[in-house]
Structures are given as structure tokens and as C-alpha cells.
Structure 1
Amino acid sequence: MNAEHPSGADLRLQRIERLAACLTRAKEGDLSALDSVVRELNPLLWRVARSQGLSDDDAADAVQTTWLELVRQLAVIHSPLALTSWLVRATKREAWRVNARRRKSANPGHEALDDAPDDAPAPDDRLLTHERDRTLWRHFARLSERCRTLLALVAYAERPDYAAIVEALGMPHGSIGPTRGRCLAKLRAMLLADPEWCAA
């Protein structure tokens, strides 16, 4: 097994505790303690950013912004043991913001939109879609936090980075697929039992 991704639970726990100790020192004023955190987790965060479809340069910017956010948020991070998960989530949020800005800047101007044909669905179709989406997200919110996080990590990446998922959730690589299947099965069962979903 690659030394960068130790498989043993004991090694993983030692790593988490080591990173948590560095964060605690940083919160106490020793910001140099973050150097080893950056060295160890920067490759993971870069892969998370790239898995969201960012270019190398945009991924580097997103990761840099995440580290700056960590420094700004040091005082409010209450669980140093959850440092890796916090950083993964923060990197994904920043990648989503970068993607949203890129899509917005790529949109044509208002003049071009005025002449473009309207391919939008009819209002009644939009209403049905909105109702289905609302029902779906209501049941998604009822899943366990572990299921919600796993499904989000897999769904938002074009090609999910399983190493990032292993780091973020602390679960064995081989259990990601079966756990995802069980989470989807729970969500499917809830939806099929909901009259609103079946009627939509």
C-alpha cells in the first residue's frame, strides 16, 4: 500500500491526532505549526479541487484560498480532530465558487440573449421539476450526515477522487461503493414511499 495513504486504522488515527496537535498549537499562536499541515494535506486538497473540474491554476488558487480561510477561522474551529474533513469541505466550496464565477463570465451579454430562442421548459414543467426537486432534497436531508457527505462527494465530482473520500470520511476504500449503494437504496425507499414523489 502506498505510504501516502496508509491503510491501517492505527496509522490513520495517529495522522489525525498529529494534525490535530498542529492545529491546536496554531490556535495557541504558533502559526508555524501549520507548515507541516500544509505539507501533508496540500496534495489532497489540490486533488479535491481538480476533481471539481478546475484547471491546475484555478485549483492552486482555490487551495490557497482554503489555507487563508483556515487561518481566518482558527478561533472558531472547535474540533481539531476533524481538520481534514473541514479542509476538504472548504476546498470544495471554494471550487464551486470558482466554477460559478467562470460560468457567469462565460455567459453571453444581454444583447445576445435577447435574440436567442427560448428553449426553457413550459411553466407547468418547471413547476413539476421544482416540486420533485423539493421532495428529493427533503428526503436527502433525512439521510445520515455520513450518507449525505458521501453522496455529495461522489455526485459533484465528474470522476470522484476516492482518496479524498477516504480522507474526508475516514472509511476504507473498499467500503465506499457498498456504502454509497446502501445510502441510495435508503433514499430510493423514502422517495417511493412518498405520495408527492410518486404523483410528480
Structure 2
Amino acid sequence: MTKARTAEADPPWEGLHGPELFEVCLRAAREGDRLAMNRLVAELTPLVWNVARGHSSDRHTAEDVVQTVWLALFSRLDQIREPKALAGWLVTTARHEAQRVNGRKPQPMPLTDELAEAVPSTQPAPEAEVLRSERDRGIWRAFGKLPQRCQEILRLTVLAGRAEYRVVAEVLRMPRGSIGPNRGRCLKTMRELLDIEGGSA
């Protein structure tokens, strides 16, 4: 009897991952299960934050966007028609909210070491900050010239990290195994754009 109660106490999402986990947690959250809500927040806040920060002008604005997105979700749990597509709904909502807050003016995502690796090497100089600023501007000019699909792939994978490939694949509706190769091609294109820009300077 005790074992049965223990088994019943195990959350129904135990051992699940990705869309299946989100679907079960969302259904439980609809029934008022706070543990399920907390699990959704823990699993998907990094993704929501990355999208919000990538489209927001500053950290404070991104934090407001994240909070607004979660409030929007929990206020309309019963309106999510496809629970397995929850990650995609959150990404779309975060993007729209960030654009609304910023007057729909696209903002560059924060520079990461991984994107910085796409920059051709330069000789070190004492004026490191000046060089960094110029390098960053070059990166964002090249980033802005990439196809929209590449921008989305780099935004989500560089910020969300390799561990989130399954979520990125769901959001972009791409096979999980194609995320890495496409990401590599996008970075290669970005390097080529940077090389062109450097050659014309």
C-alpha cells in the first residue's frame, strides 16, 4: 500500500524530455499542479530569456519580457491548443513582446565568445576596448546580412547551448540532427561575410 502511494506521488512527467515533458506538465498545470508549473518554468525560462535578451535593448527590459511571457501563459493555459508546441509558443510570444516593448526595432543579441570565434584574428593591441567595439560592430553587420533562418538558428543555439538542441529543433520545426550542420553553415557564411567586410575596409 505504501509503495502504491509512493508510485502515485511520482510526477507523471518523470523521465520525460522535450515536447513530451512540456505536454504532460502543461496538462498538469491546467489542473492546478504547481510542481508542474515550476518544472515548466525551470525547463523553458533559459530559452525564453535568450529570445527576450536577443530582441531587447537591455537586461532589465528582457527580464520584464520574460515575466510578461510567463504571466501570459499561466493566464491562458487552457488556450494552448497544441501542448507539444509550447516551446514554440513561448518563443513567438517572447519575440513579439520584446518587439512591442522596443517599438518593434530589432536589437542585436549579446555578443558571445562562440560568435566572436567567427571573427578573423587581429593583432593584439593596448586599445583592446576600441578594437572590441569595432569587432562587435562588424559582427552585427555580418549577422544582419544573414538569412532570417540563420539568424534564428544562431540566436537560439548560441544562446541556449547545445543541451537545448531538442527544443530548438521543435521551435524551428527542423530535425534535431540538422541543427548542428545548419548552425555550422551559418557560422561559415558569417565568417565569409566578415572576411569580405575586412577586405573592403
* TM-score, normalising length: structure 2: 0.50
Taking only aligned residues, the RMSD between alpha carbons, in angstroms, comes to 3.3
C-alpha separation between the residues in 2 aligned to 1:52 and 1:58? 10
Q: Deviations over 1:111-133 (max 9, x none)?
A: xxxxxxxxxxxxxxxxxxxxxxx
2:180 paired residue number? 174
Residues of 1 paired with 2:18 and 2:181: CA distance?
Answer: 21
Tell me what 1:194 maps to: none
Q: Measure, in 1, the Cα distance between the counterparts of 2:56 and 2:48.
A: 13
Alpha-carbon spacing, 1:62–1:16, altered in 2? closer, same or farther (3 Å): same
Q: For residues 47 and 75 of structure 2, what CA distance do their matches in structure 1 show?
A: 21
2:18 counterpart of 1:15: yes
Cα 1:154/1:57, change in 2 over 3 Å: farther
* Equivalence map 1:76-87=2 (5 Å): 76-87=79-90
Q: Which residue of 2 aligns with 1:46?
A: 49
Match for residue 91 of structure 2?
A: 88
1:1-200 pair list within 5 angstroms: 14-100=17-103, 152=148, 154-155=150-151, 160-162=155-157, 164=160, 166=165, 167-170=167-170, 171-172=176-177, 173-177=179-183
Taking structure 1 as the reference length, the TM-score comes to 0.50
TM-fit CA distance, 1:97: 0.7
Superposition deviation, residue 160 in structure 1:
2.3
Q: Which amino acid aligns with 2:99?
A: W
Aligned residues between the structures: 122
Deviates more, 1:89-98 or 1:49-58: 49-58
